[in-house]
Amino acid sequence: MNRLDKLRSRYLRDPLPVRLGGLAANLARVASFSQDARHQPMVVATLQESKWFIEWIAAELEKPDTAELVRLQVQIAIWQLQFAQKWQDNHWRSELALKCQQWSQRLLQMSGLQLSEKS
């Protein structure tokens, strides 16, 4: 069993809300790592892992949520294509961090793991 198969097997053991939470955590890490250009290898690896997570769980979600995750997967692919030319651009990295933080929050809502704020 290769590394990817092991990762998939481990990831799929958790209940769906926990897996969505793991994907949210990955995107929060990307947002944090993107603040420093020296963290490029971690961002690249974490985004690739996030694409795999989406692939492995999308079919288990309701259609609107699946469509939303597919949009995220496409966005990640676009970021990956831009990496070589844009990674050193502080503004681009800031935008990447912001978008990843927004996606992270959305995924936490989708998972049901986020505590609701009481009025």
Domain ranges of the chain: 3-111
| Whether pLDDT at 118 is above 80 | no
The answer for residues whose C-beta is within 8 angstroms of residue 37's C-beta and 6 or more apart is 87, 88, 90, 93
The answer for residues whose C-beta is within 8 angstroms of residue 31's C-beta and 6 or more apart is 96, 97, 98, 100, 101, 104
Average pLDDT over residues 78-106: 96
The answer for residues whose C-beta is within 8 angstroms of residue 110's C-beta and 6 or more apart is 20, 65, 68
- As a whole-number percent, the residues of the chain with pLDDT over 70 amount to 96
Q: State which amino acid sits at residue 2.
A: N
The label of the residue with tokens 């990817």 reads 4
Cβ-in-10-Å burial (0-12, 13-18, 19+) of 73 comes to middle
Tokens of 87: 């990674």
Look at the pTM and tell me if it is higher than 0.75: yes
Average pLDDT over residues 42-49: 96
Q: Cα–Cα distance between 115 and 60 in angstroms, integer? A: 23
Q: What is the average pLDDT value for the chain, to the nearest integer?
A: 93
Residue 67: band (very low, low, confident or very high) from pLDDT cuts 50, 70, 90: very high
Q: Cα–Cα distance between 102 and 110 in angstroms, integer? A: 12
